[in-house]
Amino acid sequence: MSAPTPGRQDSDREILARAIDWIGQGHRPALVTVVRTWGSSPRPLGSLMLMRRDGVFCGSVSGGCVEQDLVARYVAGELSERSPTLLDYGIDRQQATRLGLPCNGRLELLVEQLASAAPLQQLLAAIRSDRVVARRVCLHTGEVSLHPRGLDTLGGGEAEFEYAPTQVQKTFGPAWRLLLIGAGHLAAYVAPMARMLNYQVLVCDPREGEQPWGLEGCQRLAGMPDDAVRAHITHARCVVLALTHDPRLDDLALLAALDSPAFYVGAIGSRRNCQARRERLGSLGLSAAQLARLHAPVGLPIGSHAPPEIALSILAEITCLRNRAARSPARAAVSAA
């Protein structure tokens, strides 16, 4: 059997692309979605996994032994032939312990047989075009339908995953995007960490001279920071980090970013410098509400000094806020049921 790459979760886009490839190769894979959780759950609602009859799989629904057990049952033909079908894992203490689910955790999974690549291709094309689409599965008939949604449904406002007795709906949107202002030493650590967290990483630094690190897996943007923000920070799944220590560049980026739909806007600097920055930005027309969105100094206070530690603190804070926003009241109600 084939497992996901250690230390990394496959993104929705990767799983959809893999499903299209597998169907094109003659496989009829099954798509597995986490639809409900009780107790402690290592993976959030809407997490995806893809598996084949030969035991190959990608993605994760538990981060533990559920995947192996699920694939083994699928290969052995032990799962219901009905599609879609719901499966319970961790119903009792003995099963939860055997499968490695913590704290008597329990998962309910939706398993679908994927017969056609066309709906997946349509969905993937929408995501790659920065559009938001809800994929709805009727639990009675298995019918799958796609429904356009607005960009305002992202970023924790409206639940991105919904479960009801008759249907399951997962909202797919553009990849999380991280714009770094400055290609210096700190960015050299933030960028690869962000890539491991499935961010699309963009780097803007108009300063001349050789940069001390490669941009593998990142997109280098030409032009000034404010233009980069306006061109690429177009929805709520965006993060802007100003890392240059140069007010001429950082302030330009922040003026545009704090007036954008970005989920998170942050800047490095001492508390004194950050306060001076807020005063400058206020004098340039930003409102108190806009300035309140600025995270500066950026990152969690973990006593970090070296660039790798600072990068870790920055991404830890962003991840914490992302996960907190993802637990909308609708999600919390389902998890507590």
Lowest mean pLDDT among 5-19, 109-123, 226-240: 5-19
- Output the six-digit token pair for 325: 């926003």
Task: Specify if 331 maps to a domain.
Answer: no
User: Is the link from the previous residue into 44 a cis peptide, with omega within 30 of 0?
Assistant: no
Are 217 and 146 found together in one domain?
no
The average confidence (pLDDT) of the chain is 86
How confident is the model over 7-32, as pLDDT tens digits? Answer: 335 688 999 999 999 999 999 999 99
How confident is the model over 162-204, as pLDDT tens digits? Answer: 999 999 999 998 889 999 999 999 999 999 999 999 899 999 9
Per-residue pLDDT at 231: 96
Share of the chain above pLDDT 70, in %: 82
Per-residue pLDDT at 99: 59
Q: Taking the CB of residue 175, how many other CB atoms lie within 10 A of it?
A: 16
Are 65 and 95 found together in one domain?
yes
* 265 vs 39, higher pLDDT: 265
Are 160 and 24 found together in one domain?
yes
Are 241 and 267 found together in one domain?
yes
Per-residue pLDDT at 332: 37
Report which of 258, 168, 244, 239 is spatially closest to residue 204, judged by C-alpha positions: 244
Mean pLDDT of 108-135: 93
Number of helices (H), then strands (E), belonging to the chain: the values are: 11, 15
Give the number of domains in the chain: 2
Question: Residue 316: is its pLDDT beyond 80?
Answer: yes
Domain of 192, CATH number, reads: 3.40.50.720
Are 23 and 130 found together in one domain?
yes
Per-residue pLDDT at 62: 84
User: Can you say whether residue 234 is alpha, beta or left, with left for phi > 0 and alpha for psi between -120 and 50 degrees?
Assistant: alpha
Report which of 264, 329, 275, 74 is spatially closest to residue 337, judged by C-alpha positions: 329
Are 181 and 267 found together in one domain?
yes
Question: Residue 330: is its pLDDT beyond 70?
Answer: no
Residue type, 72: A
**337 strand-pairing partners:** none
Contact indicator for 101, 61 with CB cutoff of 8 Å: no
How confident is the model over 92-115, as pLDDT tens digits? Answer: 555 655 655 555 568 899 999 999
Domain extent at residue 268:
177-324
Query: CA-based angle 89:92:97, to the nearest 5?
Result: 75
Cα 250 from Cα 182, distance rounded (Å): 8
Are 57 and 109 found together in one domain?
yes
Are 88 and 191 found together in one domain?
no
